[in-house]
Structure 1
Amino acid sequence: MRLTIFGATGRTGEHLVHQALTAGHQVTVVVRGEHSIQDHPQLRVVPADVMDPGSLTEAIRGADAVLDTIGSRDKGPTSVATDTALSITKAMESVGVRRIVLVSNSARIAGPGDDWFTRFVVKPLILRPLLRHSLDDMAAAEQAVRDTALDWTIIRAPQLTDKPAKGSYRTAIERNVTFGIRISRADLATCMLDAAADPQLIRAHINVAS
């Protein structure tokens, strides 16, 4: 596949780029300026302002799928995920690219699939207040993607770790993964690549965990 990856210099994005290249995909990454991404014959690096849809068209044009791992690292109010999702989807629509996989978070969704303690205590009383700004931003980013006519898949992940890949993961469609507490960034990257190639997951919310 021809893939365009946003957030490639982040901890999940680095795994995503490595795995995509190892699998033989043609990869385009969007960077803001200086970067430490190593050269690869199947890799194209495009400097661009992710908040400017017009500057993204070169990186997106001709892609089979766009993968968005961008999120905020700030603890205060933020709209980074939302603003970038709006910009990316607008650029996609302008060049006729339809497939997008967006990473979000499962902490704000308390419901089917959760065990009792997670559903009624951990998520609403602990995680939601603690992470409210980033979770609100991710919720708005999800909505921005859903409001398009694109072929989207939203992947909701739990706590991310830097542990080595297990080489497997569990998923649940339109519900939470029972006891889905965490997942390694490497396994999340694998899930994203798998989802991008699976047309059955178009317009679906996929929860993932180890």
Structure 2
Amino acid sequence: MRLFVFGASGGLGARLLDQALGSGHRVTAVARTPESIPGHARLTILSGNVLEPHGWRRVLAGHDAVLSCLGSADRRPTTVYSQGMTGIIAAMRDSGVRRLTCVTSASLSLPPTAPLSRRLLIGGVVRPLYRHLYTDMTKMEDIVTTSDLDWTIVRPPKLTDGELTREYRTAANQHLPRPRTLSRADLAHYMLNHLDDQTSWRSTIEISR
């Protein structure tokens, strides 16, 4: 497949690139720090910003799928998720690319059965601390789910730098019982290996070890 990846220089993006190239895919990667990405014969690296589509949108045509690994740990107000996804979807429509996979967070929605300790941690500490990030993530999910694309939103729990295990649980359009942690390598594995899985299209997937 020909894949178009945003956030390729981040922790998740690096693992996604490594697995995609190792599986024989051709990849176009957009990154603000392209010098941090090792070269490869099947990899095209674009220096760019998701918020500035003029730098990459004309290259999008001919790709089979877009994968967004965008992320931020900034506590300040941000539009990188919502504004970035608005530009991505507009470019995909113009280019005829329909398959989209993006990442948000399992903490956006907690089940009523979540343990009290988790509800206190997420609701009392994490969400208030990163309220701007979660607000923009929620906006991005709304933008994606109201689009006419073949989209998948993946909601992982806390991510780690652990090894690739290929052992994880998923739940489509419902909460996953007892979420723990997940390695970025395993998240990348799911994203890559379910691009053709039509049961995951137009679905929000929770994932965890």
* Common fold by TM > 0.5: yes
Q: Which residue of 1 aligns with 2:96?
A: 96
In structure 2, runs of 5+ residues without a counterpart are: none
Q: Which residue of 2 aligns with 1:135?
A: 134
The SS at the match of 1:8 is coil
Please state how far the C-alpha of 1:58 moved relative to its aligned partner.
3.2
In structure 1, runs of 5+ residues without a counterpart are: none
TM-score (norm 2): 0.92
Deviates more, 1:50-59 or 1:75-84: 50-59
Q: 1:40 to 1:120 in 2, by over 3 A?
A: closer
The SS at the match of 1:196 is coil
Are the counterparts in 2 of residues 56 and 88 from structure 1 also a CA contact under 8 Å? no
The SS at the match of 1:35 is helix
User: Distance in 2 between the 1:184 and 1:173 partners?
Assistant: 19
Are the counterparts in 1 of residues 85 and 144 from structure 2 also a CA contact under 8 Å? yes
How many positions carry a matched residue from both structures? 209
Please state how far the C-alpha of 1:153 moved relative to its aligned partner.
0.4
User: Distance in 2 between the 1:199 and 1:69 partners?
Assistant: 20
Q: Which residue of 2 aligns with 1:58?
A: 58
| 1:148 partner letter | S
Are the counterparts in 2 of residues 101 and 195 from structure 1 also a CA contact under 8 Å? no
| 2:173 partner letter | E
Q: Deviations over 1:40-60 (max 9, x none)?
A: 111111233321333322332
| 1:192 partner letter | M
Are the counterparts in 2 of residues 82 and 138 from structure 1 also a CA contact under 8 Å? yes
Q: Which residue of 2 aligns with 1:78?
A: 78
Q: Which residue of 1 aligns with 2:200?
A: 201
The SS at the match of 2:81 is helix
Deviates more, 1:53-62 or 1:157-166: 53-62
Please state how far the C-alpha of 1:120 moved relative to its aligned partner.
4.3
User: Distance in 1 between the 2:117 and 2:102 partners?
Assistant: 24
Please state how far the C-alpha of 1:22 moved relative to its aligned partner.
0.5
User: Distance in 2 between the 1:123 and 1:12 partners?
Assistant: 22
Please state how far the C-alpha of 1:119 moved relative to its aligned partner.
6.5
Are the counterparts in 2 of residues 153 and 195 from structure 1 also a CA contact under 8 Å? no
Are the counterparts in 1 of residues 7 and 69 from structure 2 also a CA contact under 8 Å? yes
The SS at the match of 2:87 is helix
Report the RMSD for the aligned CA atoms in angstroms.
1.8
Q: Which residue of 2 aligns with 1:186?
A: 185
User: Distance in 2 between the 1:118 and 1:106 partners?
Assistant: 16
Please state how far the C-alpha of 1:34 moved relative to its aligned partner.
4.2
Deviates more, 1:114-123 or 1:190-199: 114-123
User: Distance in 2 between the 1:87 and 1:98 partners?
Assistant: 14
| 2:93 partner letter | E
Q: Indicate yes or no: 2:106 matched with 1:106.
A: yes
Deviates more, 1:116-125 or 1:134-143: 116-125
Are the counterparts in 1 of residues 34 and 46 from structure 2 also a CA contact under 8 Å? no
Identity among equivalent positions (%) equals: 38
Are the counterparts in 1 of residues 9 and 33 from structure 2 also a CA contact under 8 Å? no
Please state how far the C-alpha of 1:89 moved relative to its aligned partner.
0.9
